[in-house]
A and B are shown apart, each in its own frame.
Chain A
Amino acid sequence: MVRMVSAAELKPTTYAWPVEIAGLRVKAGRHLAVDDLDLRLGNGVHGLLGPNGAGKTTLMRALSTVHRPSGGQLRLLGEEATNGRVLRPLRRRLGYLPQHFGFYPRFTVREYVEYMAWLREMPKTAIPGAVQRAVERVGLTSRADSRLKALSGGMLRRVGIAQAIVNDPDLLLLDEPTVGLDPEQRVEFRALLRELGAESCVVVSTHLVEDVVAACSNVVLVNEGRLVWQGLPAELIERGEHGGTGDSPAERGYTSFLTSHRSAS
């Protein structure tokens, strides 16, 4: 079997960290949802964990350049993301699935993913092939010409993932990507995440600890807009073997870290 060399491998990397955050502050309305956050993320799959209202979605919006930070430093793929001049080339290298995935009901799967590829300024000749690959990777080949309004919630989520990966992004941001997926699809999705994380930086915001343990190489735990803990999934599990509440060691580790943080602050 001949191994294909991807463009990402040939591309020179001039930055040490795909995501570099220092003292980041981001508001959601009038509320400071991300408060003085410091974080560095390399290539791999990073699970962003935290309770409801922890600031995960606001942080994902800032990382996707949708939401403007109110302070601090945000460097993405070696570029200062608050600089308007670099936004256009930077955005070509991003993929983003928001928590609330908006779509055009009358579009087919292929049309929608094609449209998103066009919005990301992919070369015209590369779009059909890239769309086909993205649709195949999420297992929707047989529904590629179905209209979005005819798809189930889980299928729509997979369309959302397909549009996010269609441009082979260097930084992929997925907010609650496994919502609506059945157990078999979640297992397949975790395998896809690991595959994507081998060549790029993937940030997955979720409240499902088991997804993080199964698919992520790094865990980032946030609460009230601040970093609580960052480490390996194995360390989360290890922590759970010594305390915390939950059904699995990872869940117990998660609650243990949160409880410690709350009692300390």
Chain B
Amino acid sequence: MTDHIPSASLAAYTAGEPGLDDAAVWAVEVHLENCAECRARMAGLAPPPVLALLDDVQVMIDRGVRSGPGPVRRRTWRRLAHRWAVWSVVPWLTLVFSAVLAAFLLDREFPQRPSLVLLLAPVAPLAGLAIAWSRRSDPAWEITVGTSRAGLELLLRRTVVVLATVLPPLAWAGWLLEMSPALWLLPSLAFTAATLLLGGLIGVARAATLLSAGWLLAVALPAVLTSNLPVVVRPSSVPVWAAAALIGAVLAVLRAGDHRRFN
């Protein structure tokens, strides 16, 4: 783009001559917005009183900027945090931390009994997931679910935050108890993937409740009552959990559209 505003038009515009119609004014202003050279030419055409006035205004603006309040602090972290999580999940995560800590202390105290950390690990992230995607815990839920970003993408962001906060205490407990990470990590990931997959059909909160209740009643409770470590949390089951986590994650992504449907 090499065309510039003709000198006559620029002079007429600068002088505010009434002869210029709206279309010509519009064309000049659009060009000036993008052309530093023409802006400099226009400055040269301005009569001395206008230039003096502009200088005065510039001085006053500079003075106002210096003496006025500072710019509003941009709370970027808060905006970013809300793109990934809802605050209401914090009390639930505190509860999960407490449960993991209690399980760790009991495991250390009674090493001959089935590991409560292993029994708790699969369902540890599910409470956080249920809260992270629930109309009761998100004040802006009704607006949020009607937006284009609602669906698996937003749910995955919140899932990442839940996992990032739930898995470290499990890792810490597992490390101190000298467990293989695969024993607690893979069941956690498999149940998380299953919750996302099932959540697309019946809702994430319902899916989390259903899977948690099923695991606790069918596996954890009998294990505690009988003092036998169930086969599903023994090292031999690791390949099955790995396959379940992988298949669940792939299916959850393939069924992403389920989360965009009406709620």
Instruction: State the A residues within 8 Å of B (CB).
Output: 1-3, 61, 64-69, 82, 84-85, 87-92, 94, 96-98, 100-104, 106-108, 111, 114-116, 118-121, 145, 163
Contacts and interface: CB of A to CB of B under 8 A. Distances in A.
Interface residues of B, number: 32
Given A2-B22, A104-B140, A120 B262 contact: no
B148 interface: yes
Contacts of A104: 82, 87, 139-140
B261 A98 contact: no
A94 B146 contact: yes
Contacts of A87: 148, 260-261
Q: Considering residues A1, A66, A88, A106, which has the most beta carbons from chain B within 10 angstroms of its beta carbon? A: A66
A91 B150 contact: yes
30 contacts: A2-B26, A2-B29, A65-B146, A66-B146, A66-B262, A68-B263, A84-B257, A84-B261, A87-B148, A87-B260, A88-B148, A88-B260, A91-B146, A91-B147, A92-B148, A94-B146, A98-B143, A102-B140, A102-B142, A104-B82, A104-B139, A104-B140, A108-B72, A114-B79, A115-B83, A116-B147, A119-B143, A120-B149, A121-B149, A163-B143
A91 B141 CA distance: 15
B66 to A, nearest CB: 20
A111 B257 contact: no
**Nearest 3 interchain pairs by C-beta:** A68-B262, A102-B139, A119-B147
B78 interface: yes
Contacts of B138: 102
A121 B78 contact: no
Nearest to B76: A111
Interface in B8-50: 22, 25-26, 29
Contact of A120 (B29, B87, B147): B147
B83 A64 contact: no
A102 B257 contact: no
A107 B149 contact: no
**Which residue among B75, B82, B140 has the maximum number of chain A CB atoms within 10 Å of its CB?**
B140
A164 B34 CA distance: 32
B150 A119 contact: yes
A43 to B, nearest CB: 21
Contacts of B140: 102-104
Contact of B78 (A1, A89, A106): A106
A61 B147 CA distance: 12
